[in-house]
Amino acid sequence: MVVLECRDISISYPVKRDFFGRVTEKISVLNGVSLKLEKGKSTGILGDSGCGKTTLARILLDLEKPDTGDVFYRGNSIYKMDRKEYKSYRVNVQAVFQNPYNSLNPRMKVKDIVAEGLRINFKFKRDEIETMVRSTLSSCGLPDSIMELYPHQLSGGQRQRVAIARAVILKPEVIIADEPTSALDVSVQSQIINLFIELQETFSISYLFISHNPAVVDALCDDLYVLDKGKLCYVESGDFKSG
């Protein structure tokens, strides 16, 4: 079953304007990009810096609108959903960003960062939320003792685990991970990759991994695409994940 799909996504940005503010020149960032993500599978998008990987992730998360094309969650266009359908999409499609320090609110404690999505989207009691936070942190390899800490008091690996816990606690169908290991030390990268694998086995999450590192997608992904100059080239499907 296809849980997330985009069709013919194109977007360009203005680079020059005339005296009256009219756009005179644009640069194409994505050009006719289409892909499908199946339930319980991992799809990798590999590409150099500036090829449009992060822009594609933002469009799939509805953080940015394309010039043309459409995004579908469970077969329904996210641009035509009613309020209830759109809320389900926003809960079930979560993100883990490249730099955990920038993606975590420095003024919030770990327990509040991880619980924020629950408080926004559901009506759980305080003790239920605390139990769920503790359980999720444990699933992500973090002790209860960090719940009262702030992001700056954590290591880079711990911060990324908190960012992953924030996404996982909502029990999403899809996690879009944009360069989730590139800001980490090499020794920590393998730990985070193993964590993603363990979480997928536990929760049957579908992953869309965006990376410039072939080793990351080799370890994590079933299917592989290469994004080059805004165009997506399909490379390999099935059994791509290294043993």
Q: How many domains does the chain have?
A: 1
pLDDT tens digits, residue range 9-23? 999 998 888 888 888
229 falls within a domain: yes
The tokens for 5 are 């799909």
Query: What crossing angle do the helices spanning 186-203 and 156-168 adopt, rounded to 10°?
Result: 20
Maximum pairwise Cα distance, the chain: 59
Q: Residue 241 pLDDT more than 70?
A: no
242 falls within a domain: no
Closest listed residue to residue 101, CA positions, set 154, 179, 139: 154
3-state DSSP assignment of residue 71: strand
pLDDT tens digits, residue range 163-174? 999 999 999 999
3-state DSSP assignment of residue 4: strand
Tell me the CA distances in angstroms from 96 to 42, 85, 231, one per residue in order. Answer: 14, 22, 23
Report d(CA 214, CA 236) in Å as an integer.
13
Q: Are 152 and 140 in contact (CB under 8 A)?
A: no
60 falls within a domain: yes
Report d(CA 19, CA 34) in Å as an integer.
37
18 falls within a domain: yes
Q: Residue 70: its pLDDT value, please? A: 98
The tokens for 91 are 């809960």
Q: Residue 77 pLDDT more than 70?
A: yes
Please provide residue 79's backbone torsions phi and psi, each rounded to the nearest 5 degrees.
Answer: -85, -5
143 falls within a domain: yes
What's the whole-model pTM score? 0.90
Percent of the chain with pLDDT over 90: 66
- Residues 135, 137, 139, CA angle at the centre, nearest 5°? 70
Give me the torsion for CA of 57, 53, 168, 192, rounded to 10°.
-170
Mean pLDDT taken over the chain: 90
Residue entry with tokens 């209860």: 144
Q: Which residues lie below 8 Å from residue 15, measured CB to CB, with a gap of 6+?
A: 25, 26, 27
Burial of 210 (0-12, 13-18, 19+ CB in 10 A): buried
69 falls within a domain: yes
Host domain of residue 30: 2-236
Q: Residue 99: its pLDDT value, please? A: 82
Report d(CA 51, CA 228) in Å as an integer.
6
Q: What DSSP character marks residue 108?
A: S
114 falls within a domain: yes
* CA 219 remoteness from chain centre: 17
Q: How confident is the model at residue 160 (pLDDT cuts 50, 70, 90)?
A: very high
241 falls within a domain: no
CATH number at residue 194: 3.40.50.300
Q: Please indicate whether residue 81 or residue 18 has the higher confidence score (pLDDT).
A: 81
